[in-house]
């Protein structure tokens, strides 16, 4: 390998480290910016593939009492009507909803 390619690789890696290190700082600086998260729609392709519904009582597969609110994958505020889920990448789900990845929260 030539020293030229070593220099390019080193430069690339340093730039990558700088970007990763800057991300938390950017989040703190922009932390005061409010934005509304997008709500998951039942006709969203991922929602369809996971059999997501806004109301668990409308699902033939949801077990008794299984809702997003008491799912281990739900990461939102359990007192809100909508919140984030680790399955749906930043989109909010209805706390009364259900999908086939439901797992009992501890």
SS3 71: strand
Distance CA 78, CA 8 (A): 49
Distance CA 76, CA 79 (A): 9
Condensed to tens digits (0 to 9), the pLDDT of residues 75-92 reads 999 999 999 999 998 899
Beta-bridge mates of residue 74: 85
Q: Provide, rounded to the nearest whole percent, the portion of the chain with pLDDT above 90.
A: 62
Condensed to tens digits (0 to 9), the pLDDT of residues 58-77 reads 999 999 999 999 999 999 99
Most confident of 15-19, 44-48, 87-91: 44-48
pLDDT for 29 equals 52
Residues 6+ apart with CB under 8 A from 74: 68, 83, 84, 85, 86, 93, 95, 105
Residue 23 in this model has a pLDDT that exceeds 70: no
Asked whether the CA dihedral 14, 15, 20, 23 is positive or negative, the reply is: positive
Give the count of beta carbons closer than 10 Å to the beta carbon of residue 50. Answer: 18
Residue 100 in this model has a pLDDT that exceeds 50: yes
């Amino acid at each position: 390998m030539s020293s030229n390619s070593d220099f390019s690789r080193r430069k690339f890696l340093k730039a990558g480290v700088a970007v990763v290190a800057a991300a938390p700082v950017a989040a703190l600086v922009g932390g005061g910016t409010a934005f509304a998260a997008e709500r998951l729609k039942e006709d969203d392709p991922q929602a369809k593939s996971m059999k997501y519904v806004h109301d668990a009582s409308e699902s033939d597969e949801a077990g008794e009492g299984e809702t997003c609110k008491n799912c281990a994958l739900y990461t939102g505020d359990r007192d809100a009507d909508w919140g984030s889920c680790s399955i749906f990448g930043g989109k909010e789900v209805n706390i009364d909803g259900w999908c086939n990845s439901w797992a009992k929260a501890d």
